[in-house]
């Protein structure tokens, strides 16, 4: 089974555009508790707080133990998602960090970043040549 870990920003963006349910195609998406905490903060958009307060059955929340000082430039949710992904040998990490830490890139883990999603969206928006 493919283990998919999600950071807060992809969940936030997908919720705001009404497409978060597309992630259930993976079966289960694992989300660190630290990410859920970010999604229910008062500063988060109402739709995101509502979604994170009543999670769908295909979201599995886990506590991530973060100890890597190399990731201090990242926010707590990103650090938690990366740490959890490394601890369970995730096959895919959904994260908005344009430049993931070097250790993550060297681990062989596949990441879907915000920049990659932007490139894919731009490619799909181009008119088709006939």
Ranked by mean pLDDT, which of 14-18, 98-102, 118-122 comes out on top?
14-18
Interval 86-96: pLDDT, tens: 888 767 888 87
CA triple 8-12-16, angle to 5 deg: 175
**107 or 41: which carries more pLDDT confidence?**
41
Euclidean distance between CA atoms 116 and 98, whole angstroms? 8
For residues 31 and 35, what is the distance between their CA atoms, to the nearest angstrom?
Answer: 7
pLDDT tier at 40, thresholds 50, 70, 90: very high
Other C-beta atoms closer than 10 Å to the C-beta of 36 total 19
What average pLDDT does range 4-19 have in this prediction?
91
pTM, to two decimals: 0.75
Task: Give, in degrees to the nearest 5, the angle at Cα 89 between 23 and 69.
Answer: 105
Query: Residues with Cβ < 8 Å from 104, sequence gap 6 or more?
Result: 82, 85, 86, 93, 111
- Cβ burial of 25 (10 Å; 0-12, 13-18, 19+) is exposed
Instruction: Give mean pLDDT, residues 3-18.
Output: 90
Averaged over 111-116, what is the pLDDT? Answer: 52
Q: Taking 70 as the threshold, does the pLDDT of residue 59 lie above it?
A: yes
Residue tagged 């992904």 (tokens): 85
């Amino acid at each position: 089974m493919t283990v998919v870990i999600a950071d807060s920003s992809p969940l936030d963006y997908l919720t705001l555009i009404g497409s978060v349910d597309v992630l259930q195609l993976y079966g289960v998406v694992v989300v660190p508790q630290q990410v859920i905490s970010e999604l229910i903060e008062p500063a988060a958009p109402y739709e995101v707080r509502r979604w994170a307060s009543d999670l769908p059955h295909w979201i599995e929340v886990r506590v991530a133990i973060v100890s890597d000082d190399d990731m201090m430039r990242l926010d707590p949710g990103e650090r938690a998602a990366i740490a959890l992904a490394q601890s369970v040998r995730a096959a895919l990490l959904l994260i908005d960090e344009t430049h993931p830490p070097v250790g993550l890139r060297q681990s062989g883990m596949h990441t879907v970043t915000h920049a990659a999603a932007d490139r894919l969206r731009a490619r799909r928006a181009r008119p088709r040549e006939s």
